[in-house]
């Protein structure tokens, strides 16, 4: 029996109703499933946190290959299904919780997880907040292998001077090395979403891509630079540097034309500017 038939049988048997508000789309393509598993590079020493396991299709395959899987699922209607489909596995823990509210580092500690990878088919409506949470909270993981909306993947991978380039691009590129795995057609899901998806792998860097003296200021500058994309840097950064002369002086020292817009700056230029501003204060 194929993955699509198995999935539909489980949905029918449990009379499961897909929740549009939770962005539920179950993967039914075995080829894509295999690509996700291969990209995760699991072995007997790996542990996995899965966000949004659905009916446990990917969960089962990972549990066969790794030490332990902790699956975090928000939908209470899926918990009895997961308990049924995953009941034979001793190395799977199901947690009924909202991934945006849980303390992942606490889960890692309590479940004694090591060599942790996040693997997930992320619902589109929470993709960006979950990625930001995992990176900003410095969750102790080595990588994320995630299936997300292609449009979001394009933003993560974007380079300067493109429409897609922005705060998400810089957050991910600062913390991670990023690799495209594959595109995923809407036909690979039930129900099919209205958009194309992509699987990407983000390897968390031991050393960040650029050296910054103050991470909070670095990301504040980035956020302000992109808040009003059409504004010049000399205008968009006024909210951070109240002294206009000090701002112009810092931009000059960084060799950045104040008339440039945020979308034209590389991550190295943002880092240099934030470091100059920190030194100005001292």
Where do the domains of the chain lie, and which CATH numbers do they carry? 3-204 (3.40.50.150), 215-281 (1.10.8.100)
- Give the mean model confidence (pLDDT) for residues 256-274: 96
What would the two tokens of residue 113 be?
Answer: 């997880």
Residues 204, 143 contacting (CB under 8 angstroms): yes
Return all residues near 15 (Cβ < 8 A) that are at least 6 apart.
Answer: none
Predicted model pTM: 0.93
Q: Which tens digit of pLDDT belongs to each residue from 93-125?
A: 999 999 999 999 999 999 999 999 999 999 888
List of residues 6+ apart from 100 with CB closer than 8 A: 126, 129, 130, 133
Average pLDDT of the residues of the chain: 94
> Do 135 and 121 touch, CB atoms closer than 8 A?
no
- What is the DSSP code (8-state) at residue 64? T
* pLDDT range class, residue 2, cuts 50, 70, 90: confident
Mean predicted confidence (pLDDT) in 71-100: 96
Instruction: Return the closest-CA partner of residue 202 out of 248, 169, 160.
Output: 169
Tell which residue, 96, 60, 85, has the closest CA to residue 10: 85
Q: What was the pLDDT predicted at 73? A: 96
| Position 249 pLDDT exceeds 90 | yes
Q: What's the pLDDT at 280?
A: 85
> From CA 254, how far away is CA 278, in angstroms rounded?
13
Q: How far is CA 109 from CA 106, 139, 141, 270, in A?
A: 5, 11, 12, 35
Evaluate if residue 282 carries a pLDDT over 80. no
The whole-number pLDDT of residue 242 equals 85
Closest by CA position to 200, among listed 155, 144, 239: 144
CA angle 47, 52, 54 (to 5 degrees): 110
Q: Average pLDDT, stretch 221-231?
A: 90
What is the CB neighbour count within 10 angstroms for residue 226?
20
Residue 175 predicted with pLDDT over 80: yes
Which three-class secondary structure state does DSSP give residue 4? helix
Reported as a pLDDT band with limits 50, 70 and 90, residue 1 is: low
CB 137 within 8 A of CB 105: yes
């Amino acid at each position: 029996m194929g993955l699509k038939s198995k999935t539909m049988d489980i949905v029918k048997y449990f009379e499961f109703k897909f929740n549009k508000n939770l962005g539920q789309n179950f993967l039914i393509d075995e080829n894509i499933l295999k690509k996700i598993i291969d990209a995760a590079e699991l072995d007997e020493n790996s542990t996995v946190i899965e966000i949004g396991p659905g009916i446990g299709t990917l969960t089962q395959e990972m549990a066969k290959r790794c030490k332990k899987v902790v699956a975090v699922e928000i939908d209470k209607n899926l918990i009895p299904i997961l308990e049924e489909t995953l009941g034979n596995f001793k190395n799977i823990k199901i947690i009924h919780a909202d991934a945006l509210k849980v303390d992942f580092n606490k889960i890692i500690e309590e479940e004694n997880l090591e060599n942790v990878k996040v693997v997930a088919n992320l619902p589109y409506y929470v993709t960006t907040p979950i990625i930001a949470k995992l990176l900003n909270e410095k969750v102790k993981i080595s990588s994320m292998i995630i299936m997300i909306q292609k449009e979001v993947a394009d933003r993560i991978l974007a380079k300067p001077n493109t429409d897609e380039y922005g705060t998400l691009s810089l957050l991910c590129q600062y913390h991670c090395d990023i690799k495209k795995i594959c595109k995923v057609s809407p036909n690979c899901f039930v129900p099919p979403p209205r958009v194309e998806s992509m699987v990407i792998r983000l390897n968390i860097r031991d050393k960040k891509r650029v050296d910054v003296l103050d991470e909070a200021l670095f990301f504040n500058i980035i956020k302000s630079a992109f808040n009003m994309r059409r504004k010049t840097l000399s205008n968009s950064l006024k909210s951070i540097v109240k002294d206009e002369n000090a701002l112009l002086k810092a931009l000059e020292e960084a060799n950045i034309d104040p008339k440039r817009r945020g979308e034209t700056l590389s991550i190295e230029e943002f880092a240099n500017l934030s470091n100059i501003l920190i030194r100005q204060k001292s």
